[in-house]
Structure 1
């Protein structure tokens, strides 16, 4: 596991469309690297709309530089993913986290 999202999606299709949205803008993503509140380590966080986290590292890293490199690897892996052929949603996307 490379990254996680705090958002909860109602269907797998919505989650896949969210992933594809990140994939399309992969090279433009920027992360905020922050110290974790509980324990020791650093995580990277990509801010989404309304300054809420869109995606973050799946674990804490012991060193700041290691966390930076992990985010860079995430962006490279994300950009390499090929687009998926997904059916168009029948209704507008609704996220269960209120965004």
Structure 2
């Protein structure tokens, strides 16, 4: 883990937050973990460097309030996943697992957006941020836009 609290190896942060990992092919993928250690979101894209993975994550974090998701039924199984489409409609980030119910998947996406918005900017390490320095956060009053892709 580097000084900013971001992991770059398999031995990175074991609890919540951003983590970029090197894959077997030498490229990097990132994931976001909840404070309880459960992986909430992963990136399907592979990046050449850990810095590229961080820039992708920071771009999502900066626009968290405007994110929309497609909720789709999984192809080879039972359940629903959420996907945030990126450039050329390719997935930029997706849920780390399938959810049994559509509504549960919707709620998981909403929790992801809140968790993403709470992540500290890259130029401010987490240990330098004191709770009293952060503005109080509330859940948005408006619903996060979701699109069903199963025709209902």
Taking structure 1 as the reference length, what is the TM-score of the superposition?
A: 0.84
Greater relative CO, 1 or 2 (CA 8 Å, sep 6+): 1
Give me the CA root mean square deviation: 1.1
C-alpha distance after superposition, 1:7-49 (max 9, x if no partner): 1011111111110000000010000000000110000000001
Computing the radius of gyration from Cα coordinates, the structure with the larger value is: 2
Partner of 2:112: 74
Q: 2:40 is matched with which residue?
A: 2
State the Cα distance separating 1:82 from its structure 2 match.
1.1
Question: TM-score, normalising length from structure 2?
Answer: 0.55
Paired with 2:54 and 2:85, the residues of 1 have a C-alpha distance of: 19
Bigger strand fraction: 2
Unmatched tracts of structure 1, length 5 or more: 87-99
Q: Offset at 1:5?
A: 0.9
Does 2:24 align with 1:24? no
Runs of 4+ in 1 over 6 A off after TM superposition: none
CA distance in 1, matches of 2:56, 2:91: 13
User: How do 1:58-69 and structure 2 match up within 5 A?
Assistant: 58-69=96-107
Runs of 5+ consecutive residues of structure 2 not aligned to the other structure: 1-38, 125-152
Q: What is the aligned residue count?
A: 86
